[in-house]
Amino acid sequence: MGMSTVTAARIYQGQKDGRRGEEGYLHFEKFPHVSLIKTYNVDRQVPDSGATATAFFSGIKTNFYTLGMNSLAKFNTCNVEIGKKAHVKSVLQWAQDSGRDTGFVTTTRITHATPAALYASTPNRDWESDMDIPESEREKGFCKDIARQMIENSPGRNTKIILGGGLGKFRNVGNKTSRLDNKDLIQEWKDDKYQHGTSYRFIENRDQLSDPTLLDNEYILGLFHSNHIPFELDRNSETTAPTLLEMTTTAVKFLQKNNKKGYFLAVEGGRIDHAHHLNLGAKALEETVALSKTIEAVTKMVDLENTLIIVTADHSHGFTVNGYPGRGNNILGLGDTDKYGLPYTTLLYSTGPGLPSHMHKSPEDPSRPFMNLTGFDTTNKEYLQRSSVYQADSSHAGEDVPVYAIGPMAHMLHGVHEQSYIAHVMGYAAEMGPYSKQTLAMDNTYEQSYITDILSYDAIMDPYSKESLTT
């Protein structure tokens, strides 16, 4: 959800509401504090979601495609000694250690990169089930897949409410084998809660989420699809999965029950990214609008005098709003013409699968390989915007992404910061993790030097980065 996505979604939302669009705002754009965030990984200019989520959830930058570990971890390599040294705690653990209830909501699999960075530690973000781990690494026996870590380890097992997709990573669904160990991790989750004498409920559809007795439980786990939750534009009368709005408002109501110490909730509109990877611009914008509406609903449910809300992205995409279209021109429509007078869409991608569908199979003039889009329905939800470079899956982009904030300590988000800075803002605002009273009481020098550096300079970078080791 980079700046181009925010801009396009703002226009898209306005046009859906019958306006020209450019003059509008997504709800979070009205937040009073805005900053830019540098998203690079320790070893890459352009990042992946595992390393970026680790940065803003744990306060430390790390290597491409690793998750919940510092840069000592080597991609795709299971090493028990390095694993112990490289493990980092997230804000989810910080919140639980401070006595707060916690939860997370996502439209992706709950074992996918961004939500998994809250609770898992792995040298490969794709190791969501044991079947995803290469045999050479699986045989070592000490690298747990992400789903097992969520069920068996802290802070995953102690998270009060978890809502999203990805049931297939926790047990075999139907005739499809997704776990080689044949474990039923959902049953293990239930057994754990029963053995500890706590009330719990596992739910699988929208009707169960809306059950008024659901909130009477101490733990809730909702997995509404074997894979990701469907795109908003793909929903129909047979869709049983709840929306991001429905999941999030339920989670807020649940966490507000025990609000003496406050709570921590992470919410991800993860299918914005998925649509961009597929060059499906309409779906990406619809998912962004859905996130905006969810944030609007949450701001009305909470006390903003005591609740910090931060909205950001883990990275951007090579997605552009270009040409010279007139005011109010359909954001999904044709925006301008090329050198040969052929129209092209306002929205384009730098990489991805959208290139072949726009090319003549045998052009009469090789210098003019693109088809004439006149008469094409470029507003169709399945229309792939053209990409410049053909890839089966679009690459991320490396520019800074925005962060919007409102509530206590939101003013700390200003200027340009490292992505890891976000976790420190959350910790400092809530007096948790490295900013808890217990931690600061143990080391007054730490309080004076470390916090001064956070406030006056920037976020802490990875101590194992080349820059840190050099200095």
Which residues are designated catalytic?
49
Residue (of 193, 137, 396) closest to 277 by Cα position: 396
H/E element holding 442?
helix 437-442
DSSP structure class, residue 391? -
Separation CA 357–CA 335 (nearest Å): 18
- Give the CA radius of gyration of the chain: 23
C-alpha to C-alpha distance for 449 and 454, rounded to whole angstroms: 9
220 φ, ψ to 5°?
-135, 130
Task: Give the angle subtended at the CA of 385 by the CAs of 354 and 16, to the nearest 5°.
Answer: 150
Residues 429 and 100 sit within 8 Å (Cβ to Cβ) = no
| φ/ψ (deg, to 5) at 404 | -120, 140
Residue position matching structure tokens 């044709």: 334
Q: Say if residues 161 and 103 touch (Cβ distance below 8 Å).
A: yes
Contact yes or no for 387/279 (Cβ under 8 A):
yes
Q: What is d(CA 455, CA 334) in angstroms, rounded to the nearest whole number?
A: 46
**Tokens (6 digits) for 282:** 């309409």
What own/partner pairs with CB < 8 Å and gap ≥ 24 does 433-437 have?
Answer: 433/59, 433/89, 433/91, 433/93, 433/94, 433/97, 433/98, 434/59, 436/94, 436/97, 436/98
**CB-CB contact of 464 with 72 (8 Å):** yes
Bridge partners of residue 349, in order along the sequence: 319, 387
Could you count the other beta carbons within 10 Å of the beta carbon of residue 288? 26
